[in-house]
Every structure is written in C-alpha cells, then in structure tokens.
Structure 1
C-alpha cells in the first residue's frame, strides 16, 4: 500500500467527522433561533472550523439547512430500525412513524420551523418526500412490492402530515388532533394495501 492509500481512509473519516460537527452545530443553533440563528460564521465557530472550511462543505446557508434536514431524516430512520412500529396494520404503522416524527419535531419547535420553512422555500434540492415515502413503505412492509399508484398514495399521506405540521407549528392544532386526522387519512389512502 502506498502512503496515499493508507492516509485516504483517515482523511475521509476526519472529513466526515468535521462535516457531522458542522451539521450538528447548525442544528443546535436552529433549535434555539430558527434559520436566522444559523449564521455561517456562528456555525463555523461552534463547530470549531474555519469559515472557509465551512463554505467548502456547504456553499450556502440553504445547503447547510438541507444537510440538517437530511440529518434529522437519518435520525428518524435510525429510530425506526432500533424500535420498529409495532402496530398490526400497515396504515397504523405509517401513522406511528409520522407521529414519532411529530413528537420529535415538537420537542424542537424552532428547529422544526426552520426545517419546514426550508422545505417550502428552498431552491436547494432535497428528496424529503422520497425519503419519507420510502420510510413509510418500509414500516408498512411494502417497500419492495409497492407500485407507482401505491407510492403516490403514501406520498399523499406524507403531504397531509407536512401540512398538519405547519398548522401545529403555527399553534392551530395539537398533536392529538393530528393523530386523529392522520389515522383517518391513512385508513382511506392506504386501504388497498
């Protein structure tokens, strides 16, 4: 092995750790003050990296917000693997997943608001609906067998949840009311599964 080949995994690991520190710093700031608190200089200071290094990883603030959204989705997926929903039907498991995500976001309302805004207003691409649709299909046990129509129905359920989250963050509804409406929507949308 050459010296370059032995250094590469270490460098990749340290770059991964640096990127993770940056994303965690941004998430921590957003959880206290929303997107406005995620000033690039403040994120760099909190993550212990130079501002230029931050910009190499994330050319814009929205790129950083998208990375935070991705990290939150990773955490939700890890939670599902550790403790899969235990309900008996696919629709019930789908609602269980969405309610787990709701409770997680309710604990961090500023972060939830920042993430929701970024999903609605960002020009930066993130496959939020694709990832959530995939997670829902996985907990339903339908990931491999779902056709396009079924995927569209699951995506519709996810869209209902996003709109419910917006109302929750605006103080127009409660988590309990969301659960009732998600159960109704899931039972109707996913009846053919």
Structure 2
C-alpha cells in the first residue's frame, strides 16, 4: 500500500511525462528530463517506472482514467449497445490520437509485450459497462463488476481486440478515423446484438 506522498510523487512523475510527451512526443520523455521536471531523483523515478515503456503505459493509463470519468459524466446515449460501445471506442481513439507518438509507443509495447498492462481489460470492462448500461450514476458511485467469464464479456473483449487492430491501422496510416468508426460499427452490431 502506497502512502499518500508516494501516490502524489507518482502522479507528479506521470503528469510531467505527459506534459513532455505533448510537447515533443515520446522522444521528449527522457527519464532524466522527466525526473527533473517532476522534482525527483533519477533513482526514485526508476523505482516507480523501471523503463520508459512503463512510463508510457502509466501516461496512457492516466488518459484512460480521464476517459472513464468522462464516460460516467457524459454517458453514450445511443439506443443500441453497439452504438454506445462505438461511441466509447471513438472517444478512446480520439484521445490517444491527440498524441500519435505516445499511442504508437503504447501499441508497440503491447505487441512486443515489453510491459504488463491492463489496457485491454479496462477497455473491455468499459465496453461491457456501457453495453449493459451498468455505469455508476455518478463519479464515485458503485460500479457493477463484470462477469469476465460470461459470453457478453467475451464478446465485448472481441470488439476491444478489433478496436486495437483498427487503432494500429490508423497509426500505420492505412485507415482514417471515419473508416475505423465504420468498421467498428459493422463489427459491433453482431457482437453486441444480445445486450
């Protein structure tokens, strides 16, 4: 269990890395520069984040936290589960594409399994929550726990995997946002028809 000061230090490091990435991409996220900007020793930074990829994942995880909060504040209002899920995936895509180099580094780290991340599970959880309309009524409210062995959850996970592939295609320049959205809509309809 981390102390409050450790949590604040970690948050300061992640925010410093994110600010550097926004200005100069992943290349600007040099560990020494991040440490200086966050006001911590380089050794302290490495205790929290053993590699640059760990730091990239933490920055993206912070973005995902913001996405989850925005979904709770402003839930998708589409009539169908597929429509709500695609709304969430497109919000996530637009958020990641604000900093394509960061998104590219994250995708590479996931493909190469350089760091352990729960991104796929978090996206799947979010898709399941919006598909089943199980979002908490407000921030800090009680959230339903998905049954990760259920058919519905597995299908939401399949849509999450398709989204990951579409994100990869966008990053490669083989797909634009509208094309990806159209493909996600086509995939989401049969996958989430039972919700």
TM-score category, normalised to shorter length: 0.7 to 0.9
Match of 2:103 among 105, 112, 115: 112
Write the deviation string for residues 141-166 of structure 1: whole angstroms up to 9, x where unpaired: 26657752221111111111111111
Query: After the TM superposition, which segments of 4 or more aligned residues of structure 1 sit over 4 Å from their partners?
Result: 142-147
CA contact 2:21–2:99 (8 Å) conserved in 1: no
Residue in structure 1 matched with residue 168 of structure 2 by the alignment: 166
* CA–CA distance in structure 1, aligned partners of residues 83 and 131 of structure 2: 8
Work out the CA distance in 2 between the residues paired with 1:100 and 1:149.
Answer: 25
Q: Distance between the aligned counterparts of 1:116 and 1:90, measured in 2? A: 26
Seen in structure 2, the aligned counterparts of structure 1 residues 192 and 141 have a Cα distance that, compared at 3 Å, is closer
Unaligned runs of 5+ in 2: 135-145
- Given the two structures, how large is their TM-score scaled by the length of structure 1? 0.85
Bigger helix share: 1
**1:32 and 1:130, CA in 2 relative to 1: closer, same or farther beyond 3 A?**
same
Question: Paired residues, what number?
Answer: 183
Pairs within 5 Å for 1:126-137: 126-137=117-128
Do 2:166 and 2:180's aligned partners in 1 also have CA atoms closer than 8 Å?
A: yes
Which ranges in structure 1 are unaligned for 5 or more consecutive residues? 1-10
Instruction: Quote the Cα distance in structure 1 between the aligned partners of 2:181 and 2:102.
Output: 21
1: CA distance, partners of 2:176 / 2:54:
31
* CA RMSD between the two structures: 2.0
> Residue 80 of structure 1: SS of its match in structure 2?
helix
Identify if the C-alpha distance between structure 1 residues 177 and 125 changes in structure 2 by more than 3 Å, giving closer, same or farther.
Answer: same
